Every structure is written in structure tokens, then in C-alpha cells.
Amino acid sequence: MKKSVLSLGIIMSTHLAYAGGVSGKDAGKSGSVSPTELSDTTITLQEVSIRGNFCNERETPLNLTTITPQDIRLHFTSPNYVEMLNGVPGVYATASTGSYGDASLNMRGFKQDNISIMLNGIPIQGLTSGSMYWSNWMGLAEATYSVQVQKGMGGSMLADCAMGGMVNIITKTGNGLPNGSFALSVTDEGLTKGVLNYSTGTLRHGWNVDAMVSYTRGHGFVECSDVSTFSYMLSVSKLLGAHNTLVFTALGSPETHDQRNTELSAAEVEKYGRGYSKNWGWLNGEKYSIGRNHYFKPYFTLQHILDGERFSMKNSVYVAIADGGGRSTYGQKGSVPIISHQTPDGHIDFDAVQAENRASENGSQNIMLDYLSGHTQAGAIASAEYLITKEMKVLGGVQYQYYDTWSKMKVLDLLGGNHWYDTTSKQNVGVGDYTGARYGRTTHHASGYIQGQYATERLTANIGASLFSGTYSRHNDITGERSRWAHGFGGGVRGGVLYHILKGNAGGNRDLSVYLNGGYNSRLPYAGVYLASSDLSITNDIVNEKNLLGELGVRASWQGGGAELSGYIASWRDKTLTVNITKRADEAAEKYNITGMNALHRGIELAVHQRLLPWLRAKAFFSTASWRWKSDGKGVTYDSFSGETLKEYKIYCNNLHVGDAPQTQAGLTLDGRIPLSAALGSKAGALYFNAGWQLNARMYADFEPSSRTDEDAPDAYRLPSYSLVDATVGWEGSISDGLRLNLFACCRNLFDAHYIERGIDGMAHDLESFRGYWGAPRQFSFGMRLAF
């Protein structure tokens, strides 16, 4: 590993991640190195972890981008973890609602449930729906050493949900020498963040301890968006001889934050501003948010890495126990929703809500709940590779995951009433009591794979096959009843070839290579599809989704620069969607099951970077795509208890654009570092700057396919294109031996662009009926980092 990767101070990098065949190792060369860096000969635990979890960009027939430690530091003040991925062609990462920690990620037109998220090679997203609640992982940015984005089918044979791609996150481990840092930042909105890191370096007998604590307090540009979180990471590593490494990691982030989870209309934004939120009002003289979230998900892993000459292994066990909840409104059937009671300034009129509840003879019509939920997630992974000859090796692995969820609703506030009538128990309940159903789901997921690889100096080729099985059950936590078990099986094959037309090396010599990858996957639907109803029934007629992916690319590098051009196609068939209809306890439960949905995603991506001057680097990217639904579907409404079909109807989506992400993107970044030592002395340090521009265009509003029952309905509303410019300036230098100071200032949305980030299509498919979230205005942040 090049020593520039291990810099402890801020090295100026870029808003755009390095691509075009240049790895994170080479990316760090844009700046000077810290005096506390390790020597080239030191083998560190961090290096072992990288080798065990990342693909080699120069030898793998995949489209890869590595986010370096320097890139991550540039996004220190970003409100959401995934925003550091912006600038990778085909990736769209936003703050979603505008609330701190709430984020959405799309890759090549696919949403989060079709993107694999791996932490140190372990899958961490939920098995019920594939969702990734990034707010549960606040503080992860401070614990992250590097991130590798693998677009398309990804490099892990054990991840069966990667259609858009894979995000593999590597946390910090040992770097050889003792070191530490303290960082502090503040935004013009009043959000403060502090982070303390310390590493013991390699101790006697190969031990190393890394620790991080951080906090975030304040609010963002959205009204009533307070956040309070404490985060920690502890990594204890041990080298066992020359080839074995043990790494124990503990992560956690107990947090509380207010959510804006009600979309806005254009008229509301024009009247109240883009930071407007309908999710709060004044209750008993204090601000009260109906969307306050609290959650804690401690996560523990133990990994063993054997890095041998011919035989290597990577084994992991992990467990996470999540517990939390969030405020939610709950109303009797036919009552006016809380959010519809508004004051003249557009906020919730709790006085009117309380008056309505007091006047009701049947108890409160609207109350506040704490919707409590949690899960236990545990698993084990064992994988190995064996070098048969110098050119050939075989790889294999197995994985088991256990995922058990629970949920319940606790009455927080009767809002002026004297009781709440629980339709489940048919009893009156009060504050502190539970109401409604209490269900959970249990999932057992197992998979295995075998893969062969052939590699020479110029050619790398691999092919592999995998099998997956899932077993799902639902449990009623009031009665103790459990549904019958639903079972599913799937599998896939994937492979790729990379050929170096010109063979260079990582030092910057000319290199030209072409690669081709492809795969087919018969994928199991998530547990939420098998167990979609609000009772103990199993969804009927579930079929596997079929995914067919392919990509062709050309990668070139030369002294001071590089480029990558690729084209991809992804065919997604038999997508199953389930839409619940909420029913009262004394009525027949129904649900929609939508089948026969196909989509086709195609696109071209280009990334280029070039050093223009010794102190200046430029990078650019462009991507254009066509993501469309390619069939109509069938919706079936059936009784959850008897399975009897109640009605069937046609869904018309053929040739409609897939929404929720821009299908055309472009970007340009200038990244400079100007040493001051020649003019002011050796301790004068350096000035640096980073300016990035990004265009997002041809983006359509998201929509629920079940709503498309009109054969002549047009495309979803096409959102206006928009451009954003972000800029960072700073100074870094030594203030004494072994002590470095970094001062920086950042501006997001420098020219205060007014734009829509995401939203839901309306009945008229126009701006007037559209509901969504507008992006943040111009924001400033300032900070310092002290490294020792």
C-alpha cells in the first residue's frame, strides 16, 4: 500500500471520486504527506483489511470507484453519509426529506433495495424489504476509512440484491504508529459536530486499538429538525504471525432526530419556503414534532483474515440488536388527520386537535403514538480461496443470516381526550398502554458459492455460481401464534473478463484495458413480499425475480491521468410488488399483489481525470441512460385469510420512465493544493481548494405502479434539471513536531440554486399535483482538525 493513503492530515482530494482505473492508492498522490506516515515497508492491519475486502481496480473486470480517506474528509460537514458518493457516474445520493441522517441512494436507476450495502464485507441492510436506514448509522462517516463503489453486479458472490451495484464500507483499523486527531465543525444553521480519534499503533505482540467518539447537535435548514447523536467505534486488532489477523469491531450511534416526512407542494414551498415542514406545531407552549425518531443499533463483528501464499480465508461472525421508535399520529376511521388541522402559518394546530378530542363522546379521535420497532440480526460468513497454479485459483464460501423483527405501538399522548378505543382488543386504553396489532417477522437466509479465476499478466477471467435459500415466518406477539413457514430458493451465475491491451503498472505508466462482465440471477423476493399482510397468511403465487446484467468497458491510464468508458444493460423481470390495504380488525383484510412487472435499464458512463499542473488536478464525468418499465402488470386483490381472489385489474406501465433518479448527469471538479513552504518556510503548510459542479437532468417523479390503472396515462412529471456548485478552501500545516493543524471552510450550493431533489407523481402528472422535497439553500460550514 502506498504511504500516501495513510496520511493523517487532510490531503486535498476532490468532490468526485477517482475513477478511470486509478485506485485509491494513486488518488492520494495529489497532496503532500504527513510526517507521521508509515514507511513503505510497514504492513499494517488497515492494509490487510483493505486487501481482504476490496477488489483490485487494475485486475477486476468490474466498474469500480474507490472513495479515499481524503475524499471522506472533504465531506466531514455533510449531513448524510451517502452524499460522499455523489460524483460517481450513475449514482444519485440526496438528503431526501432534508432531515439530518435521512438519506436516499440510487445507482443506475435502481433504489436502495437493489443495492447491496456491505460493512467490512458483511451485508448490513434489512432482510424484510432491503431498506437501509442511514439514520441508524450516524457516526459511520467518522469510523470509515474508505469506501468502494462497485456498480452493476458487484464483486461479492454472496450478495444477491446487487442490480444497481454494491457499496462496500471499510472501517478504520490499525495504522502502525500511534496517532490521533480531534475535529470540530459548525454550520451557519447552528449544527455542531465534534470527533475524537485515537489509535495506539501496533503494540507488543501485534495488538492495535482504534477508538472514535463523536457527537452531533443542532438542526439543519428544515424547520424543527433537531438532531442529537453520540457515536462510537472501537476496533481491536491482532496480528497472529505473518498471515493471520483478528479484528473485533464495535459500532453504535444512539440518536434522536426530528423528521420531516410529509412531502410538500410547489405552492407550499412558494408560500413558506423550502425549509417548511408540516410535521410540527406548538403544543403546551413548546415546539412539538410528530416525526421524532429515536434509535440505537449496536453492531459487533469479529473477523479472521488468513492471507497465505496459496490458501487464504476470510471468516466473520456478527450481531446487531436494534431498538427504537418514532412518534406517529394515529386516528380513528373517518377522523380528520392531525396534519390537516393547520394554523394560518401552515403548522399543526394542536389546540384544534385537543378541542376535537375533548368534544368527542367516543374518546380521542387522534392521538400520538411511539411506534416502537427493533430487530436482532446475526450471521456468519466463511470464504476461502486456493491458488491451484500460478494462473488459476478457486474460491468458495457460505453464509447464514438470521433476522427477527418486532413492532408495537405505545400511546404517548391522548391530546385532550380521556381514552382511546383500541379496535384490536376492543377496549379503552390510555397513555403508556399499547394499542393495535403486534407482529414480527423471522427470516433465515443461507447462501453459498463457488468461483474459478484465471489470471495472467494481461488477462483476468472468472466465472462463478451461487445458490440462495430463504425461510420466512410471521409471529403475533400478543397471542404467541406463528404463521406457517414460507420457503424460497434462488441462484445465479456471473463472470467477467479483463484484458490489458497495454500493460502498465500502478506507478502511472500507460495502461489500456477492456473488460466485459455479465450475470444472471434468479433472486428471492424479500420477506416483506412473502409476509405482506397484517395477519398470519402467506402471500400467494410468489415467483423469483429474474435479473440479467451485462457491461462492456474500456479503461485507460497514463502519466498524470486516466479515463474509463463503459456501457451497461440490466433486464429486470417478474418484479413483485405488494401494496397493503389497512383494515380495521373487524373487517376482511385485503392486499394487492402486483406481478408481471419488467424493466430495462441501459446507460453509458464516462469518467476522466488529468493533472493539469503540479498543483492542480481536474476531473469530469458524464452519464446518460434510458431506464423504462417494459411491460404492463396485473394487480390481484385477494382475501388474506381464505386466499380467495376478490378482483383483478390491469396495471399500465409499459414504456414509462423509471422515476426517482436523474437519467443524465455531468460533473466537473478542480482540485488544487499550493505549498507555501518556498515563500514562508518549511512550517508554512499549504493552501488547498476544491470546487465541484454537477448537473442532474431528465429526472422523473417517483410513482407507485399500482396507481397506473389508466391505459392512456402519460409519463410521470419530469422534474426541472438543476446544477449545484460546492466549494471547499482550507489551510494545513505543522504547528510543531508531530502536530498538524487543518482549518477549512465549505459552501454547499454556492449559487443558491432552487431545485427539487425527489418526489411523488400526482394525479395530473404535473408540478401542481406533484409532492416532494426541495433541496437545501446555500449553506456554509467551518471547521478545524488537529492531528497528532
Q: What are phi and psi of 137, to 5 degrees?
A: -120, 30
Strand stretches in 389-533, DSSP E: 392-413, 420-422, 427-429, 434-435, 439-455, 459-476, 486-502, 511-523
Measured CA to CA, the distance from residue 234 to residue 361 in angstroms comes to 55
Question: What grid cell was written down for 307?
Answer: 492471507
In the beta sheet, which residues pair with residue 401? 379, 445
Please tell me the total number of residues recorded for the chain in this structure: 788
Could you tell me if 688 and 672 are in contact, meaning their C-beta atoms sit under 8 angstroms apart?
yes
pLDDT exceeds 80 at position 278: yes
Look-up of cell digits 482530494? 13
Q: Per the structure block, which three cell numbers stand in for 256?
A: 434522536
For cell 457515536, the residue is: 231
- C-alpha 107/C-alpha 450 separation (Å) is 27
Instruction: Give the CA angle between residues 623, 624, 629 to the nearest 5°.
Output: 135
680: CB partners within 8 A, 6+ apart: none
Q: Give, in degrees to the nearest 5, the angle at Cα 367 between 362 and 368.
A: 165
The model scores a pTM over 0.85: yes
Lowest mean pLDDT among 177-191, 205-219, 628-642, 655-669: 628-642
| pLDDT tens readout for residues 591-638 | 556 777 899 999 999 999 999 999 999 999 999 999 999 988 877 765
Query: Rounded distance, CA 682 to CA 740, Å?
Result: 13
The reported pLDDT for the residue numbered 500 is 95
Query: 109 and 572 in contact (C-beta within 8 Å)?
Result: no
Phi-psi region of 706 (alpha: psi -120 to 50; beta: other; left: phi over 0): alpha
**pLDDT, position 49:** 66
Q: Residue 44 — pLDDT band, cuts 50, 70, 90? A: low
Cell 466531514, residue located: 76
Among residues 571, 558, 661, 568, the alpha carbon closest in space to that of 606 is found at 568
Judged against a pLDDT cut of 50, whether residue 13 lies above it is answered with: no
pLDDT digits (tens, 9 = 90+) for 555-586: 999 999 999 999 999 999 988 765 544 433 33
Spatial CA neighbour of 460 closest among 514, 407, 507, 521: 514
What is the residue whose three cell numbers read 455479465? 518
Structure-block grid coordinates of residue 203: 503494540
Residue 639, domain extent: 3-787
Confidence check: pLDDT of 36 > 60? no
* Number of separate domains in the chain: 1
More confident of the two residues 705 and 360: 360
Confidence band, pLDDT 50/70/90 cuts, at residue 41: very low
Comparing CA positions, the residue from 680, 678, 785 lying closest to residue 740 is 785
pLDDT tens-digit map of 471-509: 999 999 999 999 999 999 999 999 999 999 998 765 557
CA angle 120, 124, 130 (to 5 degrees): 140
> Residue 433: is its pLDDT beyond 60?
yes
Buried/exposed code over 99-121 (b: 16+ C-beta within 10 A; e: otherwise): bbbbbbbbbbbbbbbbbbbbbbb
Among candidate residues 670, 702, 783, 716, the one with its CA nearest the CA of residue 30: 670
Q: Look at residue 407 in the predicted model and tell me its pLDDT.
A: 94
Q: Please report the beta strands in 332-438, taking only residues with DSSP state E, as ranges in sequence order.
A: 366-387, 392-413, 420-422, 427-429, 434-435
| Whole-Å CA distances, 30 to 12, 468, 559 | 7, 43, 13
What's the confidence (pLDDT) of residue 377? Answer: 95
Per-residue pLDDT for 166 more than 70? Answer: yes
Residue environment code for 242-256, b if the CB has 16+ CB neighbours within 10 A, otherwise e: eebbbbebebbbbbe
616, 687 Cβ separation under 8 angstroms: no
Of the candidates 66, 44, 41, 28, which has an alpha carbon nearest to the alpha carbon of residue 179? 44
Distance CA 122, CA 200 (A): 26
Q: What is the pLDDT of residues 500-545, one digit of tens each?
A: 999 876 555 789 999 999 999 999 888 888 887 777 888 777 889 9
Mean predicted lDDT score pLDDT of the chain: 87
Distance CA 82, CA 86 (A): 8
CB 20 within 8 A of CB 754: no
* Residue of higher predicted confidence among 20 and 418: 418
- Give strand ranges (E) for 585-655: 590-613, 616-629, 633-639, 645-651
476: domain CATH number is 2.40.170.20
What is the rounded (10 degree) CA torsion for 506, 509, 510, 512? Answer: -20
The cell numbers describing 519, all together, are 450475470
The pLDDT assigned to 759 comes to 95
Find out whether 651 and 693 touch, Cβ atoms under 8 Å: no
In 3D, which of 68, 45, 307 has the Cα closest to residue 176?
45
Write the DSSP string, 718-767.
EEPPEEEEEEEEEEEEEEETTEEEEEEEEEESTT----EEEEE--TTSST
Which H or E run contains 267?
A: helix 266-272
Q: What does the buried/exposed string (b/e) look like for 154-163 if buried means 16 or more CB atoms within 10 Å of the residue's CB?
A: bbbbbbbbbb
State the cell numbers at 443. 427470516
User: Rounded to a whole number, what is the distance in angstroms from the first to the last CA of the chain?
Assistant: 22
Could you give the dihedral angle defined by the CA atoms of residues 637, 638, 639 and 640, in that order, rounded to the nearest 10 degrees?
-100
- Please determine, for residue 344, whether its predicted confidence score (pLDDT) is greater than 50: yes
d(C-alpha 718, C-alpha 715), whole Å: 8
Distance between CA atoms of residues 184 and 214, nearest Å: 10
Please tell me the predicted confidence (pLDDT) of residue 163: 87
Residue 435's DSSP bridge partners are 409
**What pLDDT is attached to residue 52?**
61
pLDDT at 46 over 50: yes
Q: Give the pLDDT band of residue 16 (cuts 50, 70, 90).
A: very low
